[in-house]
Structures are given as structure tokens and as C-alpha cells.
Structure 1
């Protein structure tokens, strides 16, 4: 079951099912939700032990500059969503060109913790930190970008970085 609040975690615990915390929706209180799920878990016929996944929004790029540009497109999308605009995912060019007022900056700053964006080294370190913080059995990666190429490259970099036995990303 996917959930972004304590209610979802407690419901999954009571039902004795696996739970995925939607960090990409709610980056706050994830540790508390995970802890409550584990503490209140009731074994079921299907699931004997609590099993927690953390679903995270990740974009991995080859360089810091590329990651920063991709993040600007994400910022624009979040501002659009905050204003109720259901637009296609912005391109990097649209994100880089966009200027923001104080209100939009507040939206961006509030939403930034929901995503992990950077080079393989930065992204894998943050993912490992989240895994440890939540004591997650699994991480689920969600990548939303304005181009198929950027999404594919992000997954390629993550796959290389998380090769079995790899503690550091590989190129």
C-alpha cells in the first residue's frame, strides 16, 4: 500500500500488509510514519514481518550543471501545480528561462525536500541516508523529467551506481 501520512502507515500496519511511504508526496514526518508502521504492525497470513519501502523522486545527471538545469524544470512544474495548472512537464529550456517572484520561491523552497536531484554521488548518498533513516527494506524510484532521454539517463546512472557490491557510483 502506498501512503503519504501516518494514517496510511497505521492502516497498513493494522491490515498486516507491506507499506510504501510516498516521500515524493510528503517529505516531512517520514521517519515517524515508518516507526509507527513498524511498531504497530500486526502479522497477517500474507506478511509475517513489517516491510517498508520509501518511494522517492529522483533525477540523476552526469554533471552538477545538468542536474541544476533539470531541477529548474522540476521547480517550474511544482509552481504550475501549486497554481492548479495541469501543463505538460516543462523542458529544461522553459525551466531555465523562468523567473520567479517571492511567492513562487516559497513554493519551490517548500517542495524541494520531496526530491533528490544531482550527480550519482550526491543522489546515491542521499538515497542511502533516506534508506537508513526510514530503515526501509526497499527504495522505489520515481523519475519525472521533460524528456525521455533525461529519464533514461537518470535510470542508467542509478543502475550503474547501485550495482551489487558497489559502494560508490561508477561511470
Structure 2
């Protein structure tokens, strides 16, 4: 029995900017990837929200969702996610109500609790020096849901009557518990918080309360995957994103390098250990290697859906990685 072949398979994209491209090219590549994913039979295509990061062009997921949804016809499109502390709930409701009205049944609103950026940028987004605490998130979420349900005093046109599918996102146990209590689907960021995956999913399932949305828990795990025709090539094209993580950790983020630039970087012994640790939590390799790793991940997590993010410098390598995954999962179109 193959869990990979039994579960929906989806995409998380960050619109990576490389040393050989620019933001405009990156956004065009995102549109191309979304069309490719739809043709391959993927279930949904989500866009992340990141700010003040030279290597990521997905700072405005709402605008990207509109572009991708207009460029495709069947795949579900959404946010992975909207970082709620960065935005007034009213604005998010208006935007996603508009998207849902334009593309009924195709829009996902994935909501995150963290700002997804550095403190200075977070202050600029909120235009206040006061940080939001974890205690503020439930109130923000309640207000947002109220606009869609018509329980708030203000009328967030066209949110009322045009409610997207709402997900909670998380990389720890907090959002897992909130999603469980509210009976919402939960997406966990295994790709950057792998050590918390199992505990968070356990909390989600333990706290789950049936709702009008779900009668049973529904958990999606997002994994970093780089598939190629050989193990060696997969490791080669994985170098740039590992170096990007290293630079981000050092406070000097930059564009995604080429594989050769990543190989030529003068790593210290400590930096090599950090890079290897980063790579060890990802799924990287030829089809058989990737299939084995993903089957293990899905068995350990008992996930109901798998989402994949692939950060490589060359668009052809990125498209090929998703082709390999679609074939391994025997998605409807690729199976034919």
C-alpha cells in the first residue's frame, strides 16, 4: 500500500528570485509552475507570505493568488499563508471575499499567526511599535471569520456569502491546538520545523472538536522536496537553498544562488554542519529515494494531504521535480 498514491498532493511556492533572475522573472515562473501543477493533477497551489527577503518575491500572496487563479481553471489556489498579525482582519476579509466571488470554490485562506519577517519589517507592516502577543491571535481570527459569517457590525463586502476554505497554519503546537478547538483543517510547516511535526499533529488531533467545516481532523504536512533523475543531481541543485538558509540565519539574506555558486562558497566547518543538518530534514534524491522518504514521512505523520515546496535555482529543474512527484503519486493526469 502506497500512502503517497492515496493522498492529495499540493504545492507551496515562494516565487524564488535567483542571482540570474529578478522578481519579474520569478513571478512569471510562479505562473508557469501553477499551470504545470494543474496539468499534472495537483490538488492545490498555495503562495507564501515573506517580506524583506531578496530571494523571495511572494510578499503579496493575495495578488499572486488572483494572478494564478486567473491563469488556471481547476486547481485550488490559496495562501500559505496570510500572516494575520500583518494585516487588518477587515482587509483580509474583503480581499479573500473578492477572490472567492471571482473564483467560487477554488480559494483557500491559509492563516498564520507569526509575522513571517523580522521585527523592523513587522512594525512597518502594522505601522505600530507595539508587538502582537499570542493572545491577540484568537480575537483577530474571530473577527476575520465574523466578516465572512455576517456577525460583525461592519459589512465587509463581498466577504459575507463568499467565504473561502479557511485553514490554520503552524510550525509549533499553538496553532495546532487552535485549529483543533475550532474544528478547522491544519497545515504544518514540516519544511522548516521538522522537530515539531509529530507533537503538533498529536495536539491537533487530541484537541479536535467537530464543526460545521469538519467532522474529523484533517492535517496537511508541507515538506521540502527536491526530486531529480539522479541522487547526485538532486544534491547538486539542493545546494543553493541550503546556502540561502545559512545566509538567512546569519542575518544576510540574498537571492538564491546557482548550484555552482553554492558549491564554491567558502564554508567553515560549522557552516558545513549547519548545511548538512538543514539538508537532512529535507527529501532530496532520485525517484526511488524520494518515494521511500515520503512514504516514511506520511506513515509517521498519518497526514491526510501532502504539500511540497521546491526551492531550486533553475526553473527547468523545478518543473522536473514536480513531474517526478506527480508520477510517483500517480496523479490522474500523469497516470494517463
- Quote how far apart the aligned CAs of 1:45 are: 1.1
- The TM-score with structure 2 as length reference comes to 0.47
2:179–2:204: 8 Å Cα contact kept in structure 1? yes
2:229 to 48, 62, 65: 62
The one of 244, 247, 264 equivalent to 1:77 is: 244
Q: Matched residues in 2 for 1:109 and 1:95: separation?
A: 13
Is the 1:78–1:107 Cα contact (8 Å) retained in structure 2? no
Normalised by the size of structure 1, how large is the TM-score? 0.90
User: CA separation in 1, counterparts of 2:331 and 2:279?
Assistant: 30
The aligned residue for residue 126 of structure 2 is none
- After TM superposition, give the deviation of residue 40 of structure 1 in Å: 1.2
CA distance in 2, matches of 1:35, 1:113: 23
Displacement of 1:28 in angstroms is 0.2
Which residue in 1 is equivalent to 2:171? 4
Q: Deviations over 1:84-103 (max 9, x none)?
A: 22211111111122231022
Can you give the 5+ residue segments of structure 1 that lack an aligned partner in the other structure? none
User: Equivalent residue for 2:317?
Assistant: 150
Q: How much has 1:15 moved relative to structure 2?
A: 1.3
Conserved 8 A contact 2:231-2:284:
no
Which residue of structure 1 aligns with residue 258 of structure 2? 91
C-alpha distance in 2 between matches for 1:12 and 1:85: 34
Counterpart Cα distance in 2 of 1:66 and 1:133: 27
Over 3 Å counting, the alpha-carbon distance change for 1:113 and 1:29 in structure 2 is: farther
Partner of 2:215: 48
Displacement of 1:9 in angstroms is 0.8
Equivalenced residue count is 166
Separation of aligned partners in 1, 2:219 and 2:329: 19
Q: For each residue in 1:104-146, what CA deviation from the matched residue of structure 2 results, as whole angstroms up to 9, or x when unmatched?
A: 1232133234321111111111111111111100000111111
Which blocks of at least 5 consecutive residues in structure 2 are unaligned? 1-167
Which structure has the larger Rg over C-alpha atoms? 2
Match of 2:297 in 1: 130
Deviation at 1:164, TM superposition (A): 5.2
For residues 173 and 276 of structure 2, the distance between their equivalents in structure 1, rounded to whole angstroms, comes to 23
Q: Is the 8 A contact 1:55 1:139 kept in 2?
A: yes
